Amino acid sequence: MNQKFRNRFLLAAFIALVFITCNQADKKDDATKPADSTGAAKPAADKPATVPDAIAAAPNLYKVLADTMGIRILEVTYNPGDSSALHSHPDYAIYCLAGGTAAFYTKDGTKMDADMKSGTIMIHPAELHSVKNTGKSVIKVILFEVNRPMGNVAMDAALDATKVAGGLYTKIADTLGIRVVQINYKPGQASAMHAHPDVALYVTDAGKAEFTSKDGKKMVMDMKAGMTMIGPADTHSVKNIGTTTMKAILVEVSRPVK
């Protein structure tokens, strides 16, 4: 009986010794293995910082009026003293409804003071900045942001609205594939058939417009002040069938064709 006990004791001790030895060898191997460079857990500092867009950074200052086809129209309102966090814009056009004094800060903290006058129209390339209203008046702006998906339609240059109906469509700014056109139709005025690429529209002075497509179909639309629209490339003629002068800001967006 004692002999059996001793044999069992020696067998258990041998098994324990083998287990301990293997376990230590595994730990040694792990210590000499290089760190896993593809591991999911990485320090946050290794990840590139993402700058939010204006709506995400300052939803109290930027309001979306329309958003489709890679074009977004924003209403921007900065009361005196208001400021936004750093944010991003793609290429954009700006129409200043109510001017004032503002300070723009770049990502590296560089400051640029701007005297924004009512009625000013500008086109800017994509950029990062923060903004502060440093004046005593409310600044109000309509912002047309433009992203660049491929287009489907190439506009016929011979049907350019500013050439076909130059008295009704006046080019204000044209760069970066964005053109800002001032529309002005007095009562009874009509344009010849013309074309636009993808567009964004902001109505400044109300009127009633009759649109006629190239196949002869007509559509009447009440153009109310402050109304915004985004539309695909189109060919049409327009007539002001109302009793008031109709005015609007038209932002035409040229895109590479597929």
Q: Assign residue 242 the CATH number of its domain.
A: 2.60.120.10
Which residue range forms the structural domain that includes residue 220?
157-253
Residues 166 and 128 in one domain: no
pLDDT at residue 180, as a whole number = 98
Shared domain for 185 and 240, answered yes or no, is yes
* pLDDT of 197: 92
> Mean of the pLDDT values across residues 190-213?
97
Q: Per the domain annotation, does 39 fall within a domain?
A: no
Asked whether residue 170 carries a pLDDT value surpassing 80, the answer given is yes
194 and 167 inside one domain:
yes
> What whole-number distance in Å separates Cα of residue 132 and Cα of residue 109?
13
CB 102 within 8 A of CB 134: yes
Strands 234-240 and 194-196: antiparallel
43-94, pLDDT tens digit by residue?
Answer: 333 434 589 999 999 999 999 999 999 999 999 999 999 999 999 999 999 9
Question: Is the model's pTM score more than 0.85?
Answer: no
Residue type, 250: L
Kindly state whether residue 24 falls inside one of the protein's structural domains.
no
The answer to whether residue 124 scores a pLDDT higher than 80 is: yes
Query: Given CA atoms 116, 119, 125, 128 in this order, what sign does their dihedral have?
Result: positive
* pLDDT score recorded for residue 49: 55
How many domains, in total, are found in the chain?
A: 2
With a cut of 90, say whether residue 227 has pLDDT above it: yes
pLDDT band at 3 (very low <50, low <70, confident <90, very high): very low
228-254 pLDDT, tens digit each: 999 999 999 999 999 999 999 999 998
In a domain, 137, yes or no: yes
Q: Is residue 4 part of a domain?
A: no
How high is the pLDDT of residue 254?
Answer: 86
Measured distance between the N- and C-terminal CA atoms of the chain, rounded to whole angstroms: 92
Q: Could you read off the pLDDT of 171-199 as tens digits, one per residue?
A: 999 999 999 999 999 999 999 999 999 99
Query: Which pLDDT score, from 0 to 100, does residue 258 have?
Result: 55
